[in-house]
Structure 1
């Protein structure tokens, strides 16, 4: 069977207009796929340079396929069944800063490049005080970006449209603040700071498309059907929405909407974000640790399991919807749509992939709901609390699988688990949560109760008891 390579190309190879930090499944099935839709309609005519933001990644696998890969779309869209696949052709090159830092800096010389996209997970947009301009490369994504921007500034060139896709609130504003923080730390000068402020646009975003990734259970059959070999097939649902907060000029510069894509450029994305993060990402982050401890592997299996379906449904309607400041009928309709997406029979969404960097995800996706619920109801949300207890068990090394998180987070838990009172120490780790969770009355006691129940009778029993209790 023939390996996917340049002989499969159908579109012209356009000049590089985009720098993309990250080569993972989501960016390839979301950003790169959307760029291809514009290119197919001659609306953008631009390619992508992919920067591998960490030392070990998948860019060499991309290069082995001449930077081509297949996006497989399966599911329902507007009530219609969708099963389609497409070879994505818009990646022009890959850059590995840890191997060739100069090649990375040389991107600053390219006058065609106008856009920078990123998805370095929720943990990626962070300040590392140890980063230096002289590092080759810097450890953090914002550090790497600042070095590239400074190189661009020194060349006297125009700035960029910077569009982060990491799922943190105000991601564009936060990224800009950290870039300016590095500018001061590295003493890059007032002129550079002014250039960052005046010549670059940082957009806040909300991204929404479920991307389970490589369909390992079906890959061989798909390749036989397509008659080519592809190590980087990425599966996604057909639904997507891309909400971008910022100047409306972006609609012309980046004609995604004109290409027929579900893209919103707005001056206020918060209503969209609160709805999505709370009702889609929140249940994902809740179900992942509890269901995995119960031996369940996928979102679909969660939704076909009587105990876990009720648990997730009740979390949506009893713990999440009452905390989101939008009309209840709108939230109910969105929740039912989310459940339909969770139940998508064509998508095998592994809970292990949702579990990547779980602590920062809990902080971003569930902690705000937890706090709003406590403030409104005067009691703890039992389902979210059970998820937190499950994470503490997993990160203590007490599960039959290992947590996947940043080295800093894993190192923090290695220290915390040695404390005399692990639960109290973990809840009090402000570097993880941004605050001391021991401030919430009864949380430690309920966590300990949950952990004892999980340890003695299993995660499923804990779910069943909460289901029986109702509210």
Structure 2
């Protein structure tokens, strides 16, 4: 008999559905997902009217595969907390993808999650709960845990805090897949994907299918740094250069020799030296990323990547600038061109690099 587990999912965008929910559909467990959306849009009504079933199409050169995904059982608006809290006794896992902006704002998703956990605490439910943030920040599980504990210190009693420490396991993750668009309940993404997770026995029981690219590792923090600095860093760099100069997609950039050479120089001169990990692994990762960017069947719009660039810039590029300056006692020239354009994009919020770092830390 297949193992049955229940997920509460915060976030219903194309990425979490085309990546995490798709992976769940490939396991041999009987999984139920109750998903929470934060912005009321027509697409969620359409999804609910279709019994929460959608398609995911994987595209690569000479390869196309479409899968039907039906793991989501129901959808709820984030403001319908009464309905969400009624699930408190039945949830085994909580997964989220609320973007960097969502997880960094403790008044948003972290506050809602804390309220849900308190409801579970009030029910005297001591069943272990695994919390799986997919947001792209290093040590995302530990960050979310510390944010929750701060909220508890400010608003709740110690009994609730001890309950969270005893019954909630926060795992660190790093996600890797390019999911490009969603239209009429059809999601398009690349064939490649990988999911790196800190070791957790309960989660390992879920992803025990050896055909899935799910890796439980002690090096999660290092791999997160590599992925965020390389893949996501290049994405945000292209937003602050190519997009502002008229390019529309990542693929379009890699048809242009200027950007091919610029990205290559950016990686080897400014990103690569700041990553303290096996150099062969890092270089292989970069070369794989570039090949993925050259996939003509993946229409990854720079306009979509540009969303929340102010928040994304810190982990994706600013940390590399700081690390580079520590090594060479000067700022990297190519990445600082991207920062100059960040100032143009956010003239009221960004004055100097040091000012940006100070303000970002203060705001978050």
Structure whose CA Rg is larger: 1
Does 2:82 correspond to 1:102?
A: yes
Residue 335 of structure 2: which of 384, 391, 404 is its match?
Answer: 384
Coordinate RMSD, CA, aligned: 2.1
Does 2:140 correspond to 1:171?
A: yes
SS of match in other structure, 1:20: strand
Tell me the CA shift for residue 62 of structure 1: 1.5
Tell me the CA shift for residue 249 of structure 1: 4.3
Residue 428 of structure 1: which of 339, 355, 359 is its match?
Answer: 355
Tell me the CA shift for residue 433 of structure 1: 3.1
In structure 2, what is the equivalent of residue 35 of structure 1? 24
Residue 122 of structure 1: which of 100, 104, 111 is its match?
Answer: 100
In structure 1, what is the equivalent of residue 306 of structure 2? 355
Aligned-partner Cα distance in 2 for 1:33–1:148: 25
Where does structure 1 lack aligned partners over 5 or more consecutive residues? 1-13, 129-138, 215-229, 397-412, 417-421, 437-471
In structure 2, what is the equivalent of residue 68 of structure 1? 53
Note if contact 1:160-1:201 (Cα within 8 Å) is conserved in structure 2.
Answer: yes
Greater strand percent: which structure?
2
SS of match in other structure, 1:108: coil
Cα deviation, 1:172-192, whole Å, max 9, x if unaligned, reads 1111111111112112x2221
Tell me the CA shift for residue 434 of structure 1: 2.3
In structure 2, what is the equivalent of residue 240 of structure 1? 193
SS of match in other structure, 1:264: strand
Residue 177 of structure 2: which of 191, 200, 209 is its match?
Answer: 209
Note if contact 1:24-1:58 (Cα within 8 Å) is conserved in structure 2.
Answer: no
Tell me the CA shift for residue 270 of structure 1: 2.0
Where does structure 2 lack aligned partners over 5 or more consecutive residues? none
Note if contact 2:130-2:168 (Cα within 8 Å) is conserved in structure 1.
Answer: yes
Tell me the CA shift for residue 156 of structure 1: 1.4
Judged with a 3 Å threshold, the aligned counterparts in structure 2 of structure 1 residues 271 and 126 are, in CA distance, closer, same or farther, namely closer
In structure 2, what is the equivalent of residue 155 of structure 1? 123
SS of match in other structure, 1:239: coil
Aligned-partner Cα distance in 2 for 1:305–1:239: 24
Cα deviation, 1:131-153, whole Å, max 9, x if unaligned, reads xxxxxxxx510100000001011
Aligned-partner Cα distance in 1 for 2:42–2:163: 32
Tell me the CA shift for residue 273 of structure 1: 1.4
Taking structure 1 as the reference length, what is the TM-score of the superposition? 0.72
In structure 2, what is the equivalent of residue 18 of structure 1? 7
Cα deviation, 1:225-270, whole Å, max 9, x if unaligned, reads xxxxx61311111111111113344312x2x242511111123312
Note if contact 2:7-2:34 (Cα within 8 Å) is conserved in structure 1.
Answer: yes
SS of match in other structure, 2:351: helix
Residue 247 of structure 2: which of 292, 296, 310 is its match?
Answer: 296
Residue 316 of structure 1: which of 254, 267, 279 is its match?
Answer: 267
SS of match in other structure, 1:345: coil
Note if contact 1:143-1:182 (Cα within 8 Å) is conserved in structure 2.
Answer: yes
Aligned-partner Cα distance in 2 for 1:15–1:50: 17
In structure 2, what is the equivalent of residue 134 of structure 1? none
Aligned-partner Cα distance in 2 for 1:259–1:88: 20
Tell me the CA shift for residue 57 of structure 1: 7.7
Aligned-partner Cα distance in 2 for 1:173–1:307: 40
Tell me the CA shift for residue 432 of structure 1: 4.3
Note if contact 1:161-1:201 (Cα within 8 Å) is conserved in structure 2.
Answer: yes
Cα deviation, 1:375-414, whole Å, max 9, x if unaligned, reads 1122221221111111221223xxxxxxxxxxxxxxxx3x
Aligned-partner Cα distance in 2 for 1:435–1:322: 28
Tell me the CA shift for residue 302 of structure 1: 0.5
Aligned-partner Cα distance in 1 for 2:270–2:351: 23
Note if contact 1:97-1:103 (Cα within 8 Å) is conserved in structure 2.
Answer: no
Judged with a 3 Å threshold, the aligned counterparts in structure 2 of structure 1 residues 126 and 330 are, in CA distance, closer, same or farther, namely closer
